[in-house]
Amino acid sequence: MGCEVDLMVNYPRSKRDVDGRGETKTPEDRLIARRFDREFFDGDRRTGYGGFSYSPRFWQPVVPTFREYFALTAGSSLLDVGCAKGFMLHDFREMIPGISVAGIDVSRYAIENSMEEVRPFLKIADARDLPYPDKSFSVVISITTVHNFDHQDCILALKEIERVGRGKSFITVDAYRNEEERLRMHKWNLTAKTILHVDEWRELFKEANFTGDYYWFLP
């Protein structure tokens, strides 16, 4: 297992109305969100993002942190597991010219509506069965995706990240450190099937023999 490190420290934080979302969210909203189609990305706020469009203010402050931490260069290769419309990969290509990128997402809608500049590098695929040979990538990144599976499938996804990478990876997952954070997390969550205490996540990482680095999403 790697180390807990906040490589997302420069990602812009927005003020989230957790209580309001918890009061209005329904089981049907969760079912719709977990389809990961238009309603999740570009539909109503109750079922997802409420509009998912590119802005440089999100990933451009984050890419330098990844670049420095993993020593990424034009000769590096990077996979984004759960790439959605490819916004992060777009900014990696802009800020590290020559880097080789790839992305997968289970959402056909996201891939078909991805940024044209990166669409050739994206595939519709499942994180539990990545369509790449062993040790294909210098670095594998997965932001708020692994937790969308149940416990055993989380382990499969982590094993796939291990398989296609060359020993460097970073993930973020929904988690909590105390009862207050647990309640906030369950109010906020739409898609995660596995939400654990940080210590339980570390045990799951050990079970999967996951050697990458990690951090937590805490609304």
The strand ranges marked E within 27-168 are 77-81, 100-105, 122-124, 139-143
66-96 pLDDT, tens digit per residue, is 999 999 999 999 999 999 999 999 999 999 9
Average pLDDT of the residues in 165-181:
97
Categorize the per-residue pLDDT at 15 as very low, low, confident or very high, splitting at 50, 70 and 90. Answer: confident
All structural domains of the chain, each given as residue ranges with its CATH number in brackets, are 18-142+156-171+179-217 (3.40.50.150)
Instruction: Return the higher-pLDDT residue of 106 and 23.
Output: 106
Q: pLDDT grade, residue 141 (50/70/90)?
A: very high
pLDDT score of 197: 98
| Average pLDDT taken over every residue of the chain | 96
Cβ-contact 138, 159 below 8 angstroms: no
Tell whether the model's pLDDT for residue 25 goes beyond 70.
yes
Q: Does the pLDDT of residue 125 top 90, yes or no?
A: yes
pTM score: 0.95
pLDDT of residue 14 exceeding 90, the answer is no
Question: What is the pLDDT at residue 23?
Answer: 66
The percent of residues in the chain predicted with pLDDT above 90, rounded, is: 92
Q: Tell me the three state secondary structure of residue 142.
A: strand
**Gap between the Cα atoms of 86 and 84, Å rounded:** 6
Nearest to 144 by CA among 83, 95, 196, 96: 83
**Band of residue 35 on the pLDDT scale cut at 50, 70, 90:** very high
